[in-house]
Amino acid sequence: MHVVVITKSVPDTEATVTVDGSGNVSWGDKLVINPWDEYAITEAILLKGAHNVTATIMTIGPDEHKEALKHGLAIGCDQAIQVWDAALEGHDSLAYATAAAAAINKLGDVDLVIFGKELSDIASDIHVFQTARKLGWTALGSVAKIDAIDFGAKTIQVQRLVEQGIQVVTSQLPAVISVIKDINEPKYPTFIGIRKAAKADMPLWDSAELGLSADDLAAPVKVTGYRELPKREGAVQMIDGASAAEQAATLADKLLEEKVL
Amino acid sequence: MDFTLNDEQRMYQDAVRNFCEREIAPFAAEIDKSGQLRMDAIAKMPDLGLTGLQVPEEYGGADLDSICTAIAMEELGAVCGSTGLSVEAHNELCCLPIVKWGTDEQKQRFLPRLTSGEVLGSLALTEPDAGSDLTGTQTRAVKDGSEWVINGSKAWITNASLAPVIVTLVKTQPDAGSAGFSQMLIETDRAGLEIAPPEKKMGTCASPAHVLTFTDVRVPVENLLGQEGRGLHQTLATLDSGRIAVGALCVGLARAAFQHALAYTQERQAFGQRLVDHQAIQFKLADAATQIEAARLLVYRAAWAKDRGEKYTRLASMAKLFASEIVESIAFEAIQIHGGYGYSREFPLERIYRDQRVMSIGEGTSEINRIVIARQLLAN
Ligand SMILES: Cc1cc2nc3c(=O)[nH]c(=O)nc-3n(C[C@H](O)[C@H](O)[C@H](O)COP(=O)(O)OP(=O)(O)OC[C@H]3O[C@@H](n4cnc5c(N)ncnc54)[C@H](O)[C@@H]3O)c2cc1C
């Protein structure tokens, strides 16, 4: 029984992102774990507590992502694996998914892969579904709760947050899920975990290790630049009126006029 | 020489900072008003080792080094003086003497409960008529068969109402001078111990400090901590370590005041410029940053010496003295930089200013720490 969380370091959500004239982005120098992944790791640790599974934390990325791996170990994951290869430099989500799926297959005994809902830096979750597709496993996005999981019978039942409400889904294991904030209260690192993480040996799996060629990892999609959006001009208007009701009516009129409503 | 934190220390710093920002900072103003520590936050501390920083793991502690302890204290100080002071007193003044001088039986009996996150421990030295001069301690313990009988009173005892046990300095032999004192473990549910309501204080308002009255309180002889007659010595050694932690709390409080000031100077305009563009304001910021750096180095230096098993009495007093004096001036200048807003209860500086004030009084006043430093200088 084996649960894998796939994580990444991202710029601090409080960092100021700047784009210079030639489209180079600077994110600030402080990296944190992708905030959504804290829920993914916590869920893996909860499963570990309830079902005695092995929890592995994995990243597909260069050394700066080891911080996210250490964070996972500090919260309680059993082992950490870094997947990276020079061929992945400038990778897109498909190349990422290829590498992730190969690493999951290399582990061999994985029942469940957990991702955070999305990557907070690029606001994308496509890698989640592409990884599932590459593995040929079910993908369940936006999971708000794992109702039941049976590692013996290889079944899972989850609640997914969909636009209309909550959808209850059952599926076979192995599966890939992505989790949202409702699923748990993120655990903090523990001093025991930190001690372990500080000394941890984190194997690096490159393309040879994964049995992949440079072609397998070539990225069909290339990001060619970033631009800053034109600054929005804001203005403040105070709404007068004898009563709150009158002010509200004026406000509603103005919003309708501006086609905001 | 190497001034970098190792991996474990750096990760610990990140983890404690993150914990403090989420669990303590959002409630700091509220608990200052209500006067109640947030025990929900304390309950979450054991996993990070905050309720047993230097307690061995077998008793529920984290067995961290003194640098990590200083790191934890700085982070707590940076978000909440009340929580910082209570957690400091718990770790340094109650857990440490038990770790250091307790028998295995005493450690078994008290430490797992103390590190549980459900309680905070306490140390009782000060009396209504004796503070700096601990040889003036009047609280008396008299042996009666297999028990000690304790009579007297204590003042300003932090955490007493939250503690299962209070390490108490008592006089066991009136005519023996400084060898006439002992430390006694007194459980708070012993008959005859009365804990008065918390003092109304200027700052650290959620950290409760109480007057205690002992009327024929009986504890078994097994509750003597360490050696009979060595109480004063044990107390002074306890304070040595505590002073590093108080120094670290001050660094945290100073850092918070400085960060608020630094941010504000970049927003506020005066005479057509941002505040930070006025050189007089830049000088204040430069001084504060320099003082914080120096204070932190002194704190780490003392902690480092302690971990190496060197004598660190002088360094600990220097760290506490210096840090508690610079935090006063940094908090003062941070309020100055905020102008009228600095004086408002709506902003955190007013609380930081009140909270830091005790740091040059508790665990040895600045005068007493100067005496300690001078004595160490003259002893050589
Ligand atoms: C918020 C708070 C929490 C506290 N928590 C605890 C606690 O948990 N446990 C505990 O036991 N105590 C606690 N105390 C008490 C604290 O340790 C004492 O207040 C402190 O040691 C000073 O003692 P004192 O108040 O009796 O002042 P005094 O000893 O009466 O001193 C008064 C003044 O005289 C100065 N002075 C004294 N002797 C000399 C000298 N030889 N030369 C020059 N100047 C001198 C002092 O520096 C001070 O400025 C706490 C106090 C506060 C305010």
CATH number at residue B279: 1.20.140.10
A71 is in which domain, residue-wise?
Answer: 2-210
We report the CATH number of the domain holding residue A25 as: 3.40.50.620
Task: Pick the residue whose CA is nearest to atom 23 on ligand 1.
Answer: B131
Are B127 and B182 contained in the same domain? Answer: yes
Q: Residue A17 has what pLDDT?
A: 79
The answer to whether B23 is a known catalytic residue is no
Are B80 and B92 contained in the same domain? Answer: yes
Report yes or no on B338 lying in a domain: yes
Q: Residue A35 has what pLDDT?
A: 94
Q: Once rounded to an integer, what is the mean pLDDT over residues A106-112?
A: 97
Question: Three-class SS of residue B96?
Answer: helix
B296 is in which domain, residue-wise?
Answer: 232-379
Report yes or no on A232 lying in a domain: no
> Which of B98, B114, B130 is the endpoint of a domain?
B114
CA–CA dist B316, B301 (Å, integer) = 9
Which amino acid is it at A3? Answer: V
Are B362 and B315 contained in the same domain? Answer: yes
Report yes or no on A257 lying in a domain: no
Report yes or no on B214 lying in a domain: yes
Report yes or no on B68 lying in a domain: yes
Contacts of A76 in chain B (CB under 8 A): none
ipTM of the complex: 0.86
Number of the ligand 1 atom closest to the C-alpha atom of B203: 1
CA–CA dist B244, B313 (Å, integer) = 10
Q: Residue A258 has what pLDDT?
A: 85
> Which of B81, B114, B147 is the endpoint of a domain?
B114
Contacts of B64 in chain A (CB under 8 A): 191
Cα dihedral across residues B323, B328, B331, B334: positive or negative: negative
Tell me the count of A-B CB pairs closer than 8 A: 35
Domain count of the fold of chain A: 1
DSSP B229-253: T-HHHHHHHHHHHHHHHHHHHHHHH
Are B326 and B284 contained in the same domain? Answer: yes
pLDDT over threshold 90, residue A16: no
Nearest residue, CB atoms, A195 vs list B8, B44, B47: B8
Number of the ligand 1 atom closest to the C-alpha atom of B132: 29
pLDDT tens-digit readout, B259-271: 999 999 999 999 9
Question: Peptide bond before A174: cis, by omega within 30 degrees of 0?
Answer: yes
Which of B80, B79, B181 has the alpha carbon at shortest distance from B138?
Answer: B181
Are B252 and B356 contained in the same domain? Answer: yes
> Which of B229, B250, B266 is the endpoint of a domain?
B229
Would the pTM of this model clear 0.95, i.e. be above it?
no
Which of B363, B364, B301, B366 has the alpha carbon at shortest distance from B327?
Answer: B366
pLDDT tens-digit readout, B84-126: 999 999 999 999 999 999 999 999 999 999 999 999 999 999 9
Question: Which residues 236-295 on chain B approach chain A with CB closer than 8 angstroms?
Answer: none
Catalytic entry in B88, B127, B228, B363: B363
Q: State the nearest Cα–Cα gap between B51 and chain A, in angstroms.
A: 12
The number of residues in chain B equals 380
CA–CA dist B147, A154 (Å, integer) = 63
B358 lines ligand 1 (CB under 6 A): yes
Crossing angle, helix A35-51 and helix A66-75, to 10 degrees?
40
Are B60 and B150 contained in the same domain? Answer: no
Residues of chain B under the 70 pLDDT cut: 380
A24 — pLDDT class (breaks 50, 70, 90)? confident
In contact, B125 and B94? CB cutoff 8 Å: no
Q: Residue A222 has what pLDDT?
A: 84
Report yes or no on B347 lying in a domain: yes
Report yes or no on B131 lying in a domain: yes
Report yes or no on A251 lying in a domain: no
pLDDT over threshold 80, residue A27: no
pLDDT tens-digit readout, A185-222: 999 999 999 999 999 999 999 999 999 999 999 988 88
Are B137 and B253 contained in the same domain? Answer: no
Cα dihedral across residues A147, A148, A154, A155: positive or negative: negative
Are B362 and B252 contained in the same domain? Answer: yes
Q: Under an 8 A CB cutoff, do A188 and B19 touch? A: yes
Cα dihedral across residues B280, B281, B285, B291: positive or negative: positive
Report yes or no on B1 lying in a domain: no
